[in-house]
Structure 1
Amino acid sequence: MVEAIKLWNEPNNMSHWDFDVDKGWALFSNMAKLAGAAVKAERPYLPRVLGGMSPIDPGFLRNLEGQGVLEHVDVVAIHGFPLDWNHWQLDEWPARYREIQSMVRHPVWITEVGVSTFGAEEVQEFGLRRTAELLLNLAPRVHWYSLYDLPRAWPATTRHREAEGSSYYRHFYMGLLREDGTPKKALRHFADYTPKMGICQWFHFEDPRLDEAVSWLKKLGVKKLRTGLSWADSFRPNADAWFDRQMTALEDFDVTLTFCFTPEHRGHRPHHTSPPLRAEEFADFCVRMTRRYA
C-alpha cells in the first residue's frame, strides 16, 4: 500500500522548517541524507521523495543538490497555490514545473496543489478544472490539497496568523468538503479526474474524520493518497495503536507516506518546525515506520 516515502514537508517554508536556526539548510541536508540512506537500506526499491518545495524555488533546489541531498532521493516534489499564496498566475504552472524538471534527472511530482473557497466556492470549482487541464498530462503525480477543510477550532499550526493576514485564513478553506463533511461545489467534478489525480489529506492524532474520509475517497475513485505520520506524535501515549489504525484504514490506496514534525523535546527549539538535535533520531523513526508499514 505504501508506494513512496516522503522525507519532510516544505523544508523551504518557515511553517515547516525553521531556517532561522538552520541557515543555509545544512542541518536539513544532513538529516535528509541520513534518512534517505536509512530508508534505502531498509527497503531498497521504495521511492524516496524529497519534501515538496513551497514556494517553488530553483535556488533552494540547487543548494540541496550542492549539499548532496539529491543523491539520497529518487523523486523531487513541488507544491503550488497560485490562486491563494504564490506570486504567479495559475497558467504559469507548466512553466514552473518544467523549470524544476529541467534541473534534475529525477521525476518531479506535484504533491500539493489546491484552491481555497475563502472568497467563493466558484473559484475552487474553476481552479480544480483548470489545474487538471494544465497538470494531469504533465506530471506523473498530482495530489489535490485537500479533502477536508481544516476545522476552525483547530489552530493552523503550519501557518502564522499574525504575519500572513488573510492568507492564514485561506488555509482553513482548502477542502472539497466543509469541516462538517458537507460537499462544496467543486466536489461534484473531482471524480472526473480520478484515479489520475490523487488527494493529499493529513490526519491529526486520533482524527475522528478517518473512517468518513476513507468512504469519501472511495466514492470519488481516489487511488493515490498522500498523508503523513508525525514523528512528534510518536511520543504520545498509544501512538503505535493510532498509526496502525490509520494505516489499516488506508490499505486500499497507494499511499505516499510523509514523515515530519520534530518532537518539542528533541529540537534545537521546542517546536515541531525545529531542526532536531540529533538527525539520526529522525532517520530511526523513518526506518521504524517504513519497516512497519511498507
Structure 2
Amino acid sequence: MIEAAMIWNEPNNKSHWDPEIDPDWVGFGRMATLAGQAIAAEAPGLLRVLGGISPIDPAFILKLQERGVLDNLDVVALHGFPLDWNLWQIDEWPERLKEIQSVTNLPVWVTEVGVSTFGAEEVQEFGLQRTADLLIGRVPRIHWYSLYDLPRSWEATTRHREAEGSSYYRHFYMGLIREDGSPKLAMRHFHNYAPDMGLCQWFHFEDHRLEDAVRTMRELGVRHLRTGLSWADSFRPNAMEWFDRQMLALEEFDVTVTFCFTPEHRGIAPHHTSAPQVPEEFAEFCAKMIRRYAA
C-alpha cells in the first residue's frame, strides 16, 4: 500500500518551514536525517523521499547533500506551478528537471504539479495536457495537484493568507473537481494520462470527501497517490481512528505518504512551520506510522 514515505513538504518554502527559526536549515537537516534513519529501521527498502522542494533550487539540494542528509534518502521531489506562482514558463520543465538531476544521483520525482482555475478553466485544461507532454517519460512519478478544490470555508496552508492577494485565492481552485462536486474541463482528459500521472490529494482530519475520492480515482485509472499524515493531527482526539480509516480506504493505491506539520506545543514557536523542539519526536512519529501502515 505505501510505496514511499516523504519527509516534510516544501521545506525550502516559508509557508511550510520557518527560515527565521532555522535560517540555514541545520535543524531541518538533523530532523530529516533522523526521520530517514527511523523509517529505514522499520521498513528496510521503503523509499524515503525528500519533501518536494518549492522553489526548484539546486543550491538547496547541494546544501543538504553536503551535510549528508541525502545519504538517508532515496528520492528527491520537486513541486512546480509555472502557470500560477513560479517565475518560469511551463515549457521550461525539462530545464528545471536537469538543474536538479545535475546535482544529485538520486531519482527525481514531481510530487506536485498543477494549475489553478482562478482565472479560467481553459488555462487548467491546457496546463494538464502540456504538463503531461513535458513530464511523462522524463520522471518516474508525477502527481497532479489536485483532485478537489479546497472548500472556501477552510484555510489554505500558507503563511500570510489573504495578505498574499490573488496568490492566496489560487490555492482554492487547484482541483479537477469543484467544491460542489461537478467536474471542470480538464477532468475529461485526465484518464488519458493515468496511470502514468498520479494524483496528490491532501485529506483534512475526518475529511468528508475520502470515500468519493477513492471511487473517482478508481474510475480515472489512478494508480499512484500522494497524501499526508499530519504529526500535528496525531494529537487530536481519535487521531488513530481517522488515520486507520484513511489508510484503509487508500489501500488499493500505491501511496506516497507525507509526514509533516509540527504540533504547536512541540515547536520552537507555536506554529506548524516551526522546527521542533526535539527532532527525535518527529522521527518517532514517522517510525510509528510506518510500523502501523507499512512495516
Please give the range of the TM-score, normalised by the shorter of the 2 chains. Answer: over 0.9
User: Which amino acid in structure 1 is aligned with residue 74 of structure 2?
Assistant: D
Give the root-mean-square deviation of aligned CA atoms.
0.7
Partners of 2:217 and 2:292 lie apart in 1 by 24
User: Which amino acid in structure 2 is aligned with residue 178 of structure 1?
Assistant: R
Count of matched residue pairs:
294
1:96-155 superposed Cα distances (whole Å, 9 cap, x missing partner)? 011101211100000000000000000000000000000011011000000000001001
Q: Which residue of 2 is the match for residue 92 of structure 1?
A: 92
Aligned 8 A contact 1:159 1:168 in 2: no
How far is 1:164 from its partner? 2.0
Residue 200 of structure 1 pairs with residue 228 of structure 2: no
Q: Which secondary structure does the structure 1 equivalent of 2:91 belong to?
A: helix
Q: Which secondary structure does the structure 2 equivalent of 1:153 belong to?
A: coil
Gaps of at least 5 residues in structure 1 are none
Q: Which secondary structure does the structure 2 equivalent of 1:105 belong to?
A: coil
Q: TM-score, normalised by structure 2?
A: 0.98
Q: Which secondary structure does the structure 1 equivalent of 2:77 belong to?
A: strand
Q: Which residue of 1 is the match for residue 80 of structure 2?
A: 80
Report % sequence identity. Answer: 71
Partners of 1:159 and 1:186 lie apart in 2 by 29
Partners of 2:152 and 2:159 lie apart in 1 by 13
Aligned 8 A contact 1:145 1:200 in 2: yes
User: Which amino acid in structure 2 is aligned with residue 49 of structure 1?
Assistant: V
Shift in alpha-carbon separation, 1:16–1:248, aligned structure 2, 3 A: same
Q: Which residue of 2 is the match for residue 224 of structure 1?
A: 224
How far is 1:233 from its partner? 0.3
Gaps of at least 5 residues in structure 2 are none
Residue 116 of structure 1 pairs with residue 116 of structure 2: yes
Residue 281 of structure 1 pairs with residue 281 of structure 2: yes
Q: Which secondary structure does the structure 2 equivalent of 1:5 belong to?
A: strand
Partners of 2:148 and 2:122 lie apart in 1 by 17
Partners of 1:92 and 1:121 lie apart in 2 by 22
Q: Which residue of 1 is the match for residue 175 of structure 2?
A: 175
How far is 1:190 from its partner? 0.1
Matches within 5 A, 1:59-70: 59-70=59-70
Partners of 2:161 and 2:35 lie apart in 1 by 31
Partners of 1:49 and 1:13 lie apart in 2 by 17
Partners of 1:3 and 1:145 lie apart in 2 by 19
Q: Which secondary structure does the structure 2 equivalent of 1:127 belong to?
A: helix
Q: Which residue of 2 is the match for residue 54 of structure 1?
A: 54
Q: Which secondary structure does the structure 2 equivalent of 1:23 belong to?
A: coil
Q: TM-score, normalised by structure 1?
A: 0.99
How far is 1:162 from its partner? 4.3
Partners of 2:179 and 2:71 lie apart in 1 by 40
Residue 24 of structure 1 pairs with residue 24 of structure 2: yes
User: Which amino acid in structure 1 is aligned with residue 192 of structure 2?
Assistant: D
Q: Which residue of 2 is the match for residue 8 of structure 1?
A: 8
Matches within 5 A, 1:107-256: 107-256=107-256
User: Which amino acid in structure 1 is aligned with residue 188 of structure 2?
Assistant: R
User: Which amino acid in structure 2 is aligned with residue 256 of structure 1?
Assistant: T
Residue 262 of structure 1 pairs with residue 252 of structure 2: no
Partners of 1:2 and 1:157 lie apart in 2 by 24
Partners of 1:248 and 1:160 lie apart in 2 by 34
